[in-house]
Amino acid sequence: MLLDSLPRYSLGFLPTPLHSLPNLSARLGGPAIWVKRDDQTGLATGGNKTRKLEYLLGEAQTQGADTLITIGAPQSNHARQTAAAAARAALKSALVLRGAAPTDRTGNILIDDLIGAEVFWAGARADDEALNEVADELRARGQRPYVIPLGGSNPIGAVGYVTAMLELVEQAKAAGAYFDAIVFATSSGGTQSGLVLGDWLTSYADRIVGISVDHPAEALVPRLIDLAAATAERIGLSINFSADDFEVNDHYLGGGYAVMGEPEREAIQLCAQTEGLLVDPVYTGRAMAGLIDLIRTGEFKAGQTVLFWHTGGTPALFAYVKQLARPA
């Protein structure tokens, strides 16, 4: 297996902590809940992109790139972490963000600005069109951009969550913990594909449950199958995955991507008030709201142990001040 010989640039504070959430567990009265703290990976507050970027940056360096370029939503955690990774490696960063420039440059956009990323607004252009146009513009200027797709979710980035699964298995063994299910936010699929491939290697988990934040399962699962197979190939394995290998729960899409509703608000407040743990309005708050509902409806029960894999997103909290702050 090629896992140990792939180009990798060390960025993360790894292994990330693994610990129990006794107060939240007691409040919900169901299974014991633990958390894997990938919100603490480092890189301008941390998040799941750090692990992907270690491999993407490794590849960028072997190609002699001088600029990392990627695309995302205005409050993209992936874009912010890509800019931070570029800064660490003394490269430039270019971020193509969807839509038009907002008047309020807060949350992740503030951090993009602080890092000195060059921000391009995609306007009405489709993702790939905007990304390719900006990459061409950089090349025309003489820069050597390394293009990273949405969410860093290609077979190079997803390797980061294969090694994350190996990390978890070691840690769980050392802690004497076993998890009946691993629950996390899924969107562009690199995290889930990597975890499922890591599980194929370790035969560790019974259930790996991605709570979709934006896509219906029927749209996401085919992408996960392809990405996991391509990631396996990247590490020298030939594996045929099927839909049965991917559990995607799309019951918590609420009002749509980045629309914070009552379930996300409750999850954010409950985690903060019981554990001092911050989850975000877009990804981890939605996934935690899903987990809370699955506990309340008896899908996860007392006697079981469930791991919430925290994938970051904390800076987005500050873009939702109006919806989250106490009235003055």
- Report the first-to-last Cα separation within the chain, whole angstroms: 58
Q: Contact at 8 Å (CB) between 51 and 324?
A: no
Neighbours of 185 (CB within 10 A): 29
41 binds ligand PLP (CB under 6 A): no
Residues 6+ apart with CB under 8 A from 86: 57, 67, 68, 92, 93, 115, 117
Which CB sits closer to ligand PLP, 146 or 308? Answer: 308
Active-site residue (options: 10, 25, 76, 187): 76
Residues 10, 211: Cα–Cα separation, whole Å: 29
Mask: binding to ligand PLP, 140-179, rule CB under 6 A, as x and -? -----------x-x--------------------------
Nearer to ligand PLP, 43 or 185 (CB): 185
Evaluate the omega torsion of the peptide bond into residue 222 and state whether it is cis, within 30 degrees of 0: no
Smallest distance from ligand PLP to CB 43, Å: 12
Distance, CA of 280 to CA of 258 (rounded, Å): 10
Of these, 48, 70, 163, 231, which contacts ligand PLP (CB under 6 A)?
A: 48
x/- track of binding to ligand PLP for residues 60-89 (CB under 6 A): -----------------xx-----------
Say whether 76 is catalytic: yes
Cα-based torsion angle of the residue sequence 197, 264, 37, 206 in order, rounded to the nearest 10 degrees? -40
Locate 280 and state its tokens.
């975000």
The CB-of-81 to ligand PLP minimum distance in angstroms stands at 8
What residue type is assigned to position 48 of the chain? N
Nearest distance in Å: CB 139, ligand PLP: 26
Q: Which stretch binds ligand PLP (CB under 6 A): 122-130, 180-188, 239-247, 294-302?
A: 180-188
Greatest pairwise CA separation for the chain in angstroms: 60
Neighbour count for residue 29 (Cβ, 10 Å): 10
Q: Tell me whether residue 252 or residue 283 sits nearer to ligand PLP (CB atom).
A: 283
212 belongs to the binding site for ligand PLP (CB under 6 A)? no
**Cβ neighbours of residue 177 closer than 8 Å, sequence gap 6 or more:** 18, 34, 305
State yes or no: residue 46 binds ligand PLP (CB under 6 A): no
How do 145-148 and 181-186 pair as beta strands? unpaired
With CB under 6 A as the contact rule, which of the stretches 59-67, 227-235, 239-247, 310-318 interacts with ligand PLP? 310-318
- 55 or 283, CB closer to ligand PLP? 283
Which of 165, 185, 292, 307 is in the footprint of ligand PLP by CB under 6 A? 185
The β-bridge partners of 96 are 71, 120
| Residues with active-site annotation | 76
Binding site residues, ligand PLP, CB under 6 A: 47-48, 77-78, 151, 153, 185-192, 283-284, 311-313
